[in-house]
Chains A and B, each alone.
Chain A
Amino acid sequence: MTRFVSLVLLPLGLAAIGVVLIWTFYLAATGEAGARLADLALARVPETGVSNPVTSVLLNYRAYDTLLELAVLLAALLGIWSLGPAAPGFQRGGEILQGMVDWFVPLLILAAGYMLWVGAYAPGGAFQAGALLGSAGVMLALAGYPSAGLPSERLLRLLSILGILAFCLVGLVLMVLGLGFLTYPPELAKWLILLIETGATLAIGVTLAAAYLGGRPDHTSEVDAP
Chain B
Amino acid sequence: MTTTLLAAFDILLSLTLLALAAAALTSAEPRRAVILFIAFGLVLALVWARLRAPDLALAEAAIGAGLSGALLLAATRRAKAHTKEGASGSPEGQP
Contacts and interface: CB of A to CB of B under 8 A. Distances in A.
Interface in A163-204: none
Contacts of A52: 55
A211 B71 contact: yes
B71 A127 contact: no
A128 to B, nearest CB: 5
A135 B67 contact: yes
A212 B74 contact: yes
Nearest to B49: A123
Given A87-B78, A214-B74, A138 B67 contact: yes
Contacts of B59: 127-128, 131
B62 A54 contact: no
B66 A131 contact: yes
A149 interface: no
B31 to A, nearest CB: 15
Give the bracket for the number of chain B residues in contact with chain A.
10 to 19
B58 interface: yes
B55 A134 contact: no
Contacts of B54: 123
Contact of A128 (B62, B70, B71, B78): B62
A124 B59 CA distance: 8
A208 interface: yes
A135 B70 CA distance: 9
Given A87-B78, A132-B62, A125 B55 contact: yes
B18 interface: no
Contacts of A138: 67, 70
Given A52-B55, A123-B55, A124-B55, A135 B71 contact: no
A131 B55 contact: no
B11 interface: no
A132 B66 CA distance: 9
Interface in A101-136: 115, 123-125, 127-128, 131-132, 134-135
A123 B67 contact: no
Interface of B: 54-59, 62-63, 66-67, 70-71, 74, 78
Given A123-B54, A131-B59, 4 more contacts: A124-B55, A128-B55, A131-B62, A138-B70
